[in-house]
């Protein structure tokens, strides 16, 4: 027989011996325990109905979601900067530095061809040594230096270069 505890129960505290509290408030469907054994599918190892994704699939799913999110953020960032490209600074110099205003060379101006001959002679003397100097440091083949210095430099490039460097085209072409 169960003996009763000697201490009295404090009002408001949990009476651990209260049979009403120890009564099971939960219910199960009729005949649940009797039928339980039949619901066990031991051959197929079928477990609970609520299946969680296996750990590997869960990881793959998680990383895929993360990769897609990172991709979306990257594309969004690139698009944002492309759409908000500043109006100023659309002009750049030869070295690719952004300029707020166009240079004289970047504003299309008709070039007086009569000035070309005088300009070219000076320009070739100015530019070619400049290009040759660094080229000599890296390239040992003399033929390739010639190719480097002569290829791709048009007369217009030379004129533009001189104008950028502050030469006055009119003064250079002056023939006394």
Partner 1 sequence: MIENSDQEILALIRDNNSRRQGFNILVQKYQKKIYWNIRRMVVNHDDADDLCQEVFIKVFRYLENYRADSSLYTWIYRISINETLTFLKQKQKRFFFSLTDYEHQLANTLQADPWFSGNEIQLRLQKAILLLPEKQRLVFNMKYFDEEMTFEKLSEVLETSVGALKASYHHAVKKIEKELTGV
Minimum distance from CB of 32 to partner 1 (Å)? 8
24 touches partner 1 by CB under 8 A: yes
Q: Is 52 in the site for partner 1 (CB under 8 A)?
A: yes
**What does the buried/exposed string (b/e) look like for 72-95 if buried means 16 or more CB atoms within 10 Å of the residue's CB?**
eeeeeeeeeeeeeeeeeeeeeeee
118 with 172: CB under 8 angstroms? yes
Query: Residue 13, Cα to own-chain centre: how many angstroms?
Result: 62
Provide Rg for the chain, Cα atoms: 44
57 binds partner 1 (CB under 8 A): no
Spatial distance between the Cα atoms of 18 and 116, rounded to a whole number of angstroms: 112
Nearer to partner 1, 6 or 138 (CB): 6
Q: Does 1 bind partner 1 (CB under 8 A)?
A: no
Interface segment toward partner 1; rule CB under 8 A; list 10-18, 128-136, 140-148, 150-158: 10-18
C-alpha 172/C-alpha 168 separation (Å) is 6
37 binds partner 1 (CB under 8 A): yes
Looking at the Cβ atoms of 12 and 96, the one nearer to partner 1 is 12
Helix 142-150 to helix 113-138 angle (10° resolution) is 150
Nearest Cα to Cα of residue 100 among 85, 84, 87: 87
Q: Is 3 in the site for partner 1 (CB under 8 A)?
A: no
1 or 14: CB nearest partner 1: 14
Q: Which is nearer to partner 1, 15 or 106 (CB)?
A: 15
Please answer whether residues 93 and 103 qualify as being in contact, where contact means their C-beta atoms are separated by less than 8 angstroms: yes
Restricting to residues 74-113, name those near partner 1 by CB under 8 A.
none
The reply to whether 54 sits near partner 1 by the rule CB under 8 A is no
- Looking at beta carbons only, is 35 or 94 nearer to partner 1? 35
26 contacts partner 1 (rule: CB under 8 A): yes
Q: Which residues bind partner 1 (CB under 8 A)?
A: 12-14, 16, 20-29, 32-33, 36-37, 39-42, 45-50, 52
């Amino acid at each position: 027989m169960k003996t009763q505890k000697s201490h009295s129960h404090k009002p408001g505290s949990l009476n651990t011996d209260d049979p009403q509290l120890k009564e099971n408030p939960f219910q199960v469907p009729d005949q649940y325990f009797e039928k339980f054994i039949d619901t066990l599918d031991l051959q197929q190892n079928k477990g609970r109905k609520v299946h969680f994704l296996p750990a590997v699939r869960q990881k793959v799913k998680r990383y895929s979601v993360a990769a897609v999110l990172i991709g979306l953020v990257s594309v969004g960032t690139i698009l944002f900067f492309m759409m908000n490209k500043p109006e100023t600074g659309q002009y750049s110099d030869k070295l690719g530095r952004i300029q707020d205003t166009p240079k004289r060379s970047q504003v299309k101006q008709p070039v007086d061809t009569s000035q070309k001959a005088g300009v070219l002679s000076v320009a070739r003397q100015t530019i070619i040594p400049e290009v040759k100097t660094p080229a000599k440091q890296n390239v040992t083949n003399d033929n390739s230096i010639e190719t480097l210095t002569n290829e791709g430099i048009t007369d217009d490039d030379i004129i533009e270069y001189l104008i950028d460097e502050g030469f006055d085209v009119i003064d250079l072409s002056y023939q006394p």
